[in-house]
């Protein structure tokens, strides 16, 4: 391209960027002219006419610069109205030099009309520059709610009431960041660079510079490049206001790396450790591994119910400082009857998480209430009279992670049922009738379960589990 062509191509934009500087002149002079129309006496007429003249000239200059500046914007309703309201103000200001020459009621009314249009044009300009909610960002919460501009705040999220396995990364973290920064210049009314970001489907379409991101390739994505540029770079985004934090940029990079899917859900097990640390620091979201008992929420038993269970020889221990999860086991030197176990299942169905029935004279029939504890996580049945029949029934306990059955008559037939436990992680089979070969085969087929058989047969099982 010839140097003169390059100069002419960029010169209109150079002139257009004087619009923010020039636009304040007509605002001041036209407001002064409209106010002076109400000043009594003829001595101010010269000042009024001068104000109208300077206001008209500067309004024409501001409208011209603004029209040129709009060339680098993607358009939109807000820009349309701001542009034509500005032109209308300039035209009315020119006529105002002549219409208000003699003053009077006509001049006063004409001044009010110009001020109204000037205010509307200024408001649309503010929307373009600062976003639709700029008037309400620092207003009291009640005012923001009445105006329909309640802020999106991560500080208001109660993570404890959320399922930590279903947290949408885009909706929970990226979208609020986009709304508070990117969408101010890339929305339904204003699309700088032909880009719109107020809805995911528009962001996916990209803008004049091409796609906003390359799924799976964060370092090749324009979005990540622009938010990480030095602030002094003219292409840094967002151009004004608070830049994206390190945590927000890290979340954006991780989201793009994982495929840029707006339905992507954070997996506590696979989320990088450094990202977990940032989420905990900046958002109070703790994705670190937690025990099952730390995650459940159940109400506490009433004192009357607890007293009833104690009278049935149950020793109860609270497992949560502020919750109702319980551990139950027989009192020292006391026995638990079938009726006592059945009553525990009736009144503490959800609260029971850990249960010990070691060396209690209970068989398959008496142990049937165990299936009624949906939150049972650890179960000790050492020295009881259970058989594989009870083990088969317990497969419905979806949160059972630890099962201790040493000193029982269980044999290899129980492995058929044990492999169907959905959450089982630890299995203790000391002094049972399981064979070393059966234990080793089970451990090999179920590497997610730690199998302990004690000495002898246990060695084969543990070696298989390690492999």
Q: Give residue 152's pLDDT.
A: 47
Q: Compute CA distances 153 → 134, 146, 158, 172, whole Å.
A: 16, 17, 11, 10
For every one of its 467 residues, what pLDDT tens digit does the chain have, with 9 covering 90 and above? 454 454 455 677 677 677 777 778 888 888 888 888 888 777 777 887 888 888 788 888 877 877 777 766 555 666 677 778 778 888 887 888 888 877 788 888 888 888 888 888 777 777 666 656 666 555 665 665 555 555 444 444 656 656 666 789 999 999 999 988 888 788 877 787 888 888 888 888 888 888 998 999 999 999 999 999 888 887 888 887 788 999 999 999 999 999 999 999 998 888 999 999 999 999 888 887 778 898 889 999 999 999 999 999 999 999 999 899 999 999 999 999 999 999 999 999 999 999 999 999 999 999 999 999 999 999 999 999 999 999 999 999 999 999 999 999 999 999 999 999 999 999 999 999 999 999 999 999 999 999 998 754 444 344 444 44
Q: d(Cα 77, Cα 251) in Å, to the nearest integer?
A: 32
| Residue (of 244, 258, 238, 257) closest to 173 by Cα position | 244
Q: d(Cα 323, Cα 301) in Å, to the nearest integer?
A: 10
Q: Give residue 57's pLDDT.
A: 87
Cβ within 8 Å of residue 68, ≥6 positions away: 12, 13, 15, 16, 19
Q: Give residue 452's pLDDT.
A: 93
Q: Give residue 467's pLDDT.
A: 43
Around Cβ 76, how many Cβ atoms within 10 Å? 20
| Residue (of 287, 226, 288, 289) closest to 253 by Cα position | 226
Q: What is the pTM of this model?
A: 0.52
Q: Give residue 108's pLDDT.
A: 82
Q: d(Cα 122, Cα 284) in Å, to the nearest integer?
A: 40
């Amino acid at each position: 391209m010839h140097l003169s062509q390059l100069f002419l191509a960029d010169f209109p934009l150079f002139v257009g960027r004087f619009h923010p500087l020039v636009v304040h002149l007509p605002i001041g002079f036209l407001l002064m002219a409209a106010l002076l129309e109400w000043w009594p006496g003829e001595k101010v007429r010269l000042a009024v006419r001068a104000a109208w003249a300077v206001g008209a000239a500067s309004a024409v200059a501001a409208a011209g610069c603004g029209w040129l500046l709009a060339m680098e914007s993607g358009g939109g309703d807000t820009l349309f109205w701001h542009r034509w309201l500005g032109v209308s103000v300039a035209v009315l200001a020119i006529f105002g030099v002549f219409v208000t020459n003699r003053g009077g009621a006509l001049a006063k009314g004409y001044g009010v009309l110009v001020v109204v249009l000037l205010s509307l044009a200024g408001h649309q300009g503010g929307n373009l520059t600062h976003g639709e909610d700029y008037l309400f960002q620092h207003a009291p919460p009640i005012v923001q709610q009445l105006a329909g501009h309640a802020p999106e705040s991560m500080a208001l999220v109660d993570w404890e009431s959320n399922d930590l396995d279903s947290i949408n990364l885009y909706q929970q973290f990226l979208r609020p960041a986009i709304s508070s920064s990117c969408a101010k210049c890339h929305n339904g009314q204003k699309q700088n660079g032909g880009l719109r970001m107020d809805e995911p489907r528009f962001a996916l379409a990209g803008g004049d510079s091409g796609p906003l991101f390359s799924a799976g390739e964060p370092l090749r994505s324009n979005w990540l490049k622009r938010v990480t540029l030095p602030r002094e770079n003219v292409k840094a985004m967002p151009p004004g206001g608070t830049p994206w934090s390190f945590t927000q940029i890290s979340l954006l990079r991780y989201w793009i790396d994982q495929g840029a899917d707006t339905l992507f859900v954070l997996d506590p097990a696979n989320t990088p450790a450094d990202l977990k640390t940032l989420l905990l620091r900046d958002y109070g979201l703790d994705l670190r591994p937690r025990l099952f008992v730390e995650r459940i929420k159940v109400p506490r038993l009433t004192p009357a119910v607890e007293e009833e269970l104690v009278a049935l020889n149950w020793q109860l221990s609270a497992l949560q400082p502020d919750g109702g999860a319980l551990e139950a086991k027989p009192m020292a030197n006391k026995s638990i009857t079938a009726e006592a176990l059945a009553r525990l299942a009736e009144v503490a169905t959800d609260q029971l998480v850990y249960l010990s029935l070691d060396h209690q004279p209970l068989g398959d029939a008496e142990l049937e209430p165990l299936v009624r504890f949906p939150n049972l996580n650890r179960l000790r049945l050492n020295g009881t009279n259970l058989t594989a029949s009870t083990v088969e029934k317990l497969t419905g306990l979806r949160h059972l992670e630890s099962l201790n059955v040493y000193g029982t008559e269980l044999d290899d037939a129980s492995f058929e049922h044990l492999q169907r436990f959905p959450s089982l992680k630890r299995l203790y089979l000391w002094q049972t009738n399981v064979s070393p070969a059966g234990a080793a085969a089970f451990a090999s087929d179920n590497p997610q379960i730690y199998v302990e058989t004690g000495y002898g047969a246990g060695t084969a099982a543990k070696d298989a589990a390690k492999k």
